Structure 1
Amino acid sequence: MMEYKGYRAQIEFDQDAELFHGEILGIRDVVTFQGCSVAELKAAFQDSVDDYLDFCASKGKTPDKPYSGRFNVRISPELHRRLEEEARIHNTSLNQWVTQKLAADGQNL
């Protein structure tokens, strides 16, 4: 995993081509890069992020952020009720309670 300006990329190695290639994660746009060495790969990743940001600016488009911090989950009304009750018992909002639980469980990811 590589990170630059808040963007993260997944890296793979193509043994046949003897080439590293990567793709920026967490955005709708497809931004890829490649290199034959770690140094080349790192430079290509940073250039790709910079090019993406420059392209968006030139088009007046807001670049995708890697993650907004928001996501919607559809659950049953019964589960929704139970979660809301649990949050109230702990004197917190449903959002804060779920965030705490996800963060605790996320430690094991």
Structure 2
Amino acid sequence: MNNTIQYKGYVGSVEFSEENGVFYGKVMGIRSLISYEGENAKELLDDFHGAIDDYLETCKTEGKEPEIAFKGSFNVRLSPELHKKLFIYATAHQISINKYIEDTLADSPAAQITLV
């Protein structure tokens, strides 16, 4: 079972409450709270789509830019020793640390995931 859903560039979680007998979730990667629920998969997806559409319409009405979760930039914390090694390697190969990390991650299993 996939525990995420996607719509218009947004990714939402999929959870199940045994106590309430409903599926629910929230949009991940943004500060705004966008939540949704449904008693079955179709209701969950319909509510997810409606919540995203409502969010985008509200932003448009208020003249705000909608939040974008995946801008292509994130912070990575690592040890000073590894940071130094990356710097030395990248400098020796005349590339930036960012380019080295991007190339390395592009070959990872996570990069092979197909987005819809």
Aligned to 1:49: 52
Gaps (5+ residues) in structure 1?
Answer: none
Deviation, structure 1 residue 68: 1.1
Deviation, structure 1 residue 108: 6.0
1:95–1:15 Cα change, 3 Å = same
Aligned to 2:103: 100
Aligned to 1:3: 6
**Secondary structure of 1:3's partner?**
strand
The within-5 A match list for 1:23-42 is: 23-42=26-45
Aligned to 1:89: 92
Deviation, structure 1 residue 53: 0.6
Q: Matched residues in 2 for 1:82 and 1:14: separation? A: 46
Deviates more, 1:71-80 or 1:47-56: 71-80
For these two proteins, the number of residue pairs brought into alignment is: 108
- Root-mean-square deviation (Å): 2.0
Q: What TM-score do the two structures reach when normalised by structure 2? A: 0.80
